Amino acid sequence: MSDRVVETLKPALVAGGVLLFICAGGLLGWLRQPRELRLDPPAAADLDQFRLMHNGISGTPPQSYFALGKPYEADAYNLSQGKRLYSWFGCPACHGDGRGGVGPSFLDGWWLYGPEMVSIVASIRDGRPHGMPAFRDKMTIEQIWQLAGYVQTIGSYTPKVAAPSRNDDKNSRPAENRGPAIIMFDEGPTGAHFDQGPSP
């Protein structure tokens, strides 16, 4: 009789085995890099060392950025931090909720310096002509990367795995996790948009 019991217990034992497997995985997960709350100073210094094309558009991030797993584009926590910084550092004063104002809009998918992280980081860090101030002395480089990741998300050029959190205030524009702009904004035969603020 008890053999039958053992037999019928088998699926449960299998389930138990699976759970123990998870437990072992838990130890592995322990070793997995946790949510990065404090970036090592050398890593932060390295994030400052990206290379930019001479025209200020596009470039290459430092190798360490890829080694970290592109955390400022792929990690919801960093994107959410970026979103907070967006309001903390007064970005809405010029760019509004992303629709633009004094400064250009991020929403239309037409960016003067392109959608690459390096360009955005450079824009924030060093400033740009026609009124974009440099935030080099106001923010740490880690914050600048977080903010850049968020700004890139507003434009939503490419699909992302992660999305920043939604603000608990009135929704005045499309969400950051909508479909990528690259589909919605086909360049078409007409070329450049004329209504997006001053050119560099």
Partner 1 sequence: MTPKDNREIRDTAFDAAELERRLAATWTTPPGLLGALSTVDHKIIGRRYITTAFVFLALGGLLSLLMRLQLAQPEARFIGPDRYNQIFTTHGTNMMFLFAVPVMQAMAIYLVPLMVGTRNIAFPRLNAFSYWMYLAGGLLLWIAFVLDTGPDVGWFAYVPLAGPQYAAGKRADIWAQMITFTEVSALAVAVEIVVTVFKQRAPGMSLDRIPLFVWSMLVTSFLVILAMPAIMIASTSLILDRLVGTHFFNPAEGGDALLWQHLFWFFGHPEVYIIFLPAVGMVSTIVATFTRRPVFGYLGMVMALIATGVLAFGLWVHHMFVAGLPRLGESFFTASSMAIAVPAGLQIFCWLATMWAGKPIFKTPLLFVIGFIVIFVIGGLTGVMVASVPFDTQVHDTYFVVAHFHYVLVGGAVFPLLGAIYYWFPKLTGRMLNETTGRWVFGLIFTGFNLTFFPMHILGLRGMPRRIYTYQPEMPWSGLNMFISLSAIVLAAGFLLFFIDAIRSARAGATASANPWGATTLEWATPSPPPSYNFAKLPLVDSLEPIHDDAFLPAAIGLRVDRRELLITSVVEAAPEARESSSGDSIWPLWAALATTVALIWSIFSPWAVVWGSIPVAIALIGWFWPKDVPEDDS
Partner 2 sequence: MRAVPPLLISTVVAASGCSGNQSALDPNGAPAIHIEHLIIVIVIICTVIWLLVMGVLGLAILRRRDRPAEDPISEKRLTTVVSAAVATTVIIIAGLTIASFYTTRGIGVPEDAALTITVRGQQWWWQIFYASSGATPGFQTANEIHIPVGQDVHLKLESTDVIHSFWVPSLAGKQDLVPGRSNGLLLRAEKPGVYRGQCAEFCGLQHSHMAIMVVAEPAADYERWAAAQSGNAVIPAAPDAVAGQAIFMAKPCAACHTVRGTSASGTTGPDLTHIGSRQTIAAGLVETTRGSLAAWIADPQTLKPGNNMPMVPLTSAELQNISAYMESLK
CA distance 141 to 48: 6
Which of 53, 164, 194, 195 binds partner 1 (CB under 8 A)? It is 164
Taking the least distance from each CB to partner 1, the nearer of 29 and 131 is 29
In the complex, minimum distance from the CB of residue 120 to partner 2, in angstroms, rounded to a whole number: 18
Binding mask 32-71 for partner 2 (x = CB under 8 A): -----xxx-x--xx--------------------------
Closer of 111 and 145 to partner 2 (Cβ): 145
Nearest CB to partner 2, comparing residues 45 and 67: 45
Quick one: what does residue 25 bind among partner 1, partner 2, none, with the CB cut-off 5 to 8 Å set by partner type?
partner 1
Sole window of 15-23, 42-50, 51-59, 150-158 interacting with partner 1 (rule: CB under 8 A): 15-23
d(C-alpha 145, C-alpha 151), whole Å: 10
Q: How many residues bind partner 2 (CB under 8 A)?
A: 16
Instruction: Kindly tell me which of 21 and 66 has the beta carbon lying closer to partner 1.
Output: 21
Least distance in angstroms from the C-beta of 77 to partner 2: 10
Q: How far apart are CA 172 and CA 132, in angstroms?
A: 23
| Residue 137 contact partner, candidates partner 2, partner 1, none, CB within 5 to 8 A by sort of partner | partner 2
d(CA 140, CA 81): 13
Query: Using CB under 8 A as the criterion, which residues of the chain lie in contact with partner 2 when the complex forms?
Result: 37-39, 41, 44-45, 84, 88-89, 137-140, 142-143, 168
